Amino acid sequence: MAISTVDLQAAAGAAAPTPKPARRQKFRFITNTKTLIGLIILGFYVLLAIFGPMIAPYDPDARGDVLQSPPTSAHWFGTTHLGQDIFSQVLAGARGVVYVGLLAGLVATALAVIIGVSSGYLANTGGEALSALSNVFLVIPALPLIIIVASILPTVSNTIIGLVIGLTSWAWGARVLRAQTLSLRGRDYVDAAKATGESTWRIIFFELLPNLTAVIASGFVGTVIFAVLSEITLAFIGVADPTVWNWGTILFWAQSQQALAQGAWWWFVPAGLAIAVLGTALSLINFGIDEIVNPRLRNAGRIKGKSVRMRIGFTPVLGKENR
Amino acid sequence: MSYLLRRIVFYVFTAWAAITINFFLPRLMPGDPVQALIAKEQGQLSTDAVHSLYVLFGLDKQQPLWQQYVDYWGQLLHGDLGLSFTFFPTPVSEVISSSLPWTLILVGVTTVCSFMLGTGLGVLAGWRRGSWVDLVLPVTTFISSVPYFWFGLIMIELLAGPNSFFPSSGGYDPGVVPGWDIDFIGSAVQHSLLPALTILISSMSGWILSMRNMMVTVSSEDYITVAHAKGLSDRRVMLSYAARNALLPNVSGFALSLGLIVGGTLLVEIVFSFPGVGFQLFQAVGAKDYPLMQGIFLIITLSVLAANFIADLAYLVLDPRTRKEG
């Protein structure tokens, strides 16, 4: 950090105007519009996951008399070939989707932090081996691996699917964290901490991790997006238990009952839109985090200096705000 | 040269790891997985299928694990991936080799197209930021969050139909005999258009977003200002100064994206009943055809490794720093 002019003046004993005490901006990420919108939508989905199954107007499994009807006032999203209410199925499915997404995100992030930070901080063969391990997992295509593991397992509950996805998708986070740790390790403040005799664990937990928060958060959100899509996919191709409702299960039944050929668009459009909006919300949160980490992305508008047209005999002077 | 050598060692190691995972996965299952499967299928498995399951899980002979592992490698090097039991007694390698060309062409063409188009659009979106081009952002964000297969369903609903030019399923007209003639190739291309378009649109948005962000980051570097000050044309600064440097992370990000794109492609194939590896994997999952599933996983992984290696070669050409080291 450069020494500010205020410090210099103070050091010189000049009568500097007393600067306002710098206030640490807590929750700065909430002031970012993208993050805010994303968090609001995500909050709505979490509420759906908690209360959705309770407020569903019908039992999602119950067969009705109205077979495969388009949306009506009684059935907002229409019905299936058995007369099941699709609106209730979407509501009931939210819980599984959010649960698996969060579980896989937590497992993968924990692994990524352990493997990424230790491989970045420990500059020995152990660190290199961990880095090689994460590179291997990064290149092996995750989705086919998840499909194989999930279909070999004798029972597939939501928890098991979340664990399988989490255990196979930590590599990207680990790689990013390793790169960031490598760059932090050489900073002066870490050297200072070592010199004062802080233990390795204290340095990792109290000096490094707080500075990695943004990277960890963005890795977590990214993994949740991936986990939700993978879970939906598993359900869609019929690897997951088709009696447990999630949005992929709805699409599985729609596909296997030829909803498309019969023009039953209401059967697969709501579930897909629900996935897409959830994914968009998570991406928005990640863009917000990106902008906090990389200030150059923050300015949404056109930067003034960039649009300066160069002419002969005219020397543009770029203002400070362009730096 | 050392860069290239390191990469080759890495890919050989990864291929070994993938093959080893493939060997151990069925053997790590608790209990007697074959009995569990037979119970699960309630006697619907044929005796042939049961036998090929025992072979796969390594339960057919009382051998130590390392001996099985050596045998497995021996079989693999002869191209023997076991017997598929949906297509019993066809070997898995034969089943896969009939579907692999379909997938390779579909994924290859669409991935290259989407990388070029997406990167190009990303360059423009990053350079002209603050204008109407920023509208691209919310749209691409939304599209990149849509599952590939659902997008495929929507495409079928909107564009395919009884009287439409686009067929909704299959790889070629049922009336055409596969062969290298105009009729067959024309029909195959016609059937591939919609799946290809689906993958193209879905995968392109990721490239646009990452390239845009890199362009934005790069365009505030000092050397861009210097290039402007030298009086170079805007176009030249954009392409030769900003885009050239912004491209590098996009190429190295290829590794992660390729796995995702391949995963997405498998699903698009399922939706379109396209006769590729993905559709076969879907059938194998439905029929609990483990030998076929594992063979497909192995082939997909090896193909992805090969594609990554090509991306590394491209990186070698684009980034002079990698060549200097050795």
Q: Is residue B87 part of a domain?
A: no
User: Where among B17, B46, B77 does a domain terminate?
Assistant: B77
Element containing residue A199 per DSSP (H, E): none
Tell me how far apart the alpha carbons of residues B176 and B174 are, in angstroms, rounded to a whole number: 6
C-alpha span between A257 and A105 (Å, rounded): 32
Q: Are residues B197 and B311 in the same domain?
A: yes
- Could you tell me if B99 and B236 lie in one domain? yes
Q: Out of A144, A232, A282, whose CB is closest to B300?
A: A144
- Cα separations in angstroms, A260 against A52, A269, B157, B160: 27, 10, 7, 10
Give the residue among B63, B65, B83 at the shortest CA–CA distance from B75: B83
In the prediction, which pLDDT does A323 show?
40
CB contact under 8 A, A300 and B134: yes
B163 lies in the same domain as B226: yes
**Is B262 in contact with A143 (Cβ distance < 8 A)?**
yes
Q: Specify the CATH number for the domain of residue B240.
A: 1.10.3720.10
The answer to whether position B82 is within a domain reads: no
User: Are residues B52 and B120 both part of a single domain?
Assistant: no
Please tell me the predicted confidence (pLDDT) of residue A108. 93
pTM over 0.95: no
Element (H, E) at B280: helix B277-287
Residues B193 and B110 in one domain: yes
All residues of chain A having their beta carbon less than 8 Å from the beta carbon of residue B225 are: 305, 318
**Complex ipTM value:** 0.80
Same domain, B137 and B57: no
State whether residue B239 sits within 8 Å of chain A by CB. Answer: no
Boundary (domain end) residue, out of B77, B110, B144? B77
> Does B14 contact A142 at a Cβ distance shorter than 8 Å?
no
Please, are residues B133 and B125 in contact by the beta-carbon 8 Å criterion? Answer: yes
**Cβ-Cβ contacts under 8 Å, B156 against chain A:** 260
Q: Are residues B141 and B183 in the same domain?
A: yes
Same domain, B13 and B44: yes
B251 and B286 fall within a common domain: yes
- What is the CB neighbour count within 10 angstroms for residue A21? 6
C-beta atoms of B255 and A139 within 8 A: yes
How far is the C-alpha of A84 from the C-alpha of A75, rounded, in Å?
9
Per-chain mean pLDDT for chain B:
80
Nearest chain A residue to B302 by CA: give it: A140
In angstroms, the CA B64 to CA B50 distance is: 22
Whether residue B178 sits in one domain with residue B42: no
Find tokens 């060549």 and name the residue. B323
Q: Among A201-210, B58-67, B123-132, B276-285, name the one with the lowest average pLDDT.
A: B58-67
Q: Look at residue B107 in the predicted model and tell me its pLDDT.
A: 86
Q: Would B9 be classed as within a structural domain?
A: yes
For chain A, the straight-line distance linking the first and the last C-alpha, in angstroms and rounded, comes to: 15
- Who has greater pLDDT, B248 or B47? B248
The contacts of residue A6 (CB under 8 Å, 6+ apart) are A16, A19
Confidence class for position B55, pLDDT limits 50, 70, 90 = low
pLDDT of residue A104: 92
Is B317 a member of any domain?
yes
pLDDT mean for each 10 residues of chain A (323 residues): 42 48 59 82 89 78 73 75 79 86 92 88 80 84 84 80 89 85 84 86 84 84 88 84 81 79 79 88 85 70 45 48 42
Contacts of A272 (CB under 8 A, 6+ apart): A247, A251, B146, B147, B150, B153, B154
Asked if A132's CB is within 8 angstroms of B10's CB, the reply is yes
List the domain range (segments joined by +) for residue B24.
2-77
Name the range with the highest mean pLDDT among A36-50, A67-81, B33-47, B88-102.
A36-50
Mean pLDDT of B19-31: 76
In B134-163, the residues whose Cβ lies within 8 Å of chain A are 134, 141-142, 144-147, 149-150, 153-154, 156-157
- pLDDT > 70 fraction of chain B, expressed in percent and rounded: 81
Tell me if B37 is assigned to some domain. yes
CB A265 to CB B157 under 8 A? yes
| Alpha-carbon distance B236 to nearest alpha carbon in chain A (angstroms) | 14
- Position A97, amino acid: V
Q: Given B31, B48, B77, which residue is the final one in a domain?
A: B77
pLDDT for the residue A301: 46
- Report CA Rg, chain B: 24
Average pLDDT over residues B265-274: 85
Chain A residues with beta carbon closer than 8 angstroms to that of B301: 140-141, 144
Name the residue among A139, A272, A294 with its Cβ closest to that of B308: A139
Same domain, B58 and B187: no
- Structure-derived torsion over alpha carbons of residues A67, A70, A75, A80, reported in degrees to the nearest 10: 40
d(CA B277, CA A66) in angstroms, rounded, equals 39
Of residues B65 and A138, more confidence is placed in A138
Is B299 a member of any domain?
yes
For chain B, how many structural domains are there in total?
A: 2
How many Cα atoms sit within 13 Å of A276 on the Cβ side?
A: 21
| B84, part of any domain | no
Which residue is closest to A170 within chain B, CA to CA?
A: B256
Query: How many other β-carbons are positioned within 10 Å of the β-carbon of residue A82?
Result: 13
Asked if residue B127 is part of any domain, the answer here is yes
Site of tokens 């749209």: B139
